[in-house]
Amino acid sequence: MANRSTPRSARSEAIARSWATRKANAAAEAAWLEKPVCLCGCGEAVARHRNPDRQRLFRPGHDMRLKAVAAGILAGEIPKHAIPDIARVLKNRIRFLRKPSQLNRTF
């Protein structure tokens, strides 16, 4: 990168951080799509689908595990870091988080 003579503004720094986060999330999602595991945090493999839009996110019944963890966080019984990082990255794909609810605040 060329040496700049003018300092970067706070806005451009914020934009650069935002894009860095966005690139990291896209890379994490691409890596997950290559070898998908259940988003509940159990670590079990999920069958890979060649169409990324049709890729399953959970093993059967495990979506309720993640929902229970999110409810426990809202109740204050479980620490916030109990939600897997990949579930935070893919939160826009999780159906029970698509509609407005209190569970959205945990992610």
Q: State in Å, rounded, how far the first CA of the chain is from the last one.
A: 35
Q: What's the structural domain count of the chain?
A: 1
**Within a domain: 27:** yes
Decide which of 106 and 14 is more confident: 14
Domain-located, residue 90? yes
**Would you say residue 3 has pLDDT above 80?**
no
Helix ranges (DSSP H) in 1-107: 10-34, 63-75, 85-89
**89 inside domain:** yes
Instruction: Look at residue 44 and tell me if it is in a domain.
Output: yes
Q: Per residue in 71-101, pLDDT tens?
A: 999 899 999 899 999 999 998 888 888 777 7
Domain limits for position 49:
10-106
6: confidence class by pLDDT, cuts 50, 70, 90: low
30 within a domain of the structure (yes/no) = yes
- 61-91 b/e (C-beta count within 10 Å ≥ 16 → b): ebbebbbebbeebeeeebeeeebbebbebbb
Q: What pLDDT, on a 0 to 100 scale, did the predictor assign at position 4?
A: 62
In a domain, 18, yes or no: yes
User: Is 37 a member of any domain?
Assistant: yes
Name the token pair of 66. Answer: 């993640």
Q: In the predicted model, is pLDDT for residue 2 greater than 70?
A: no
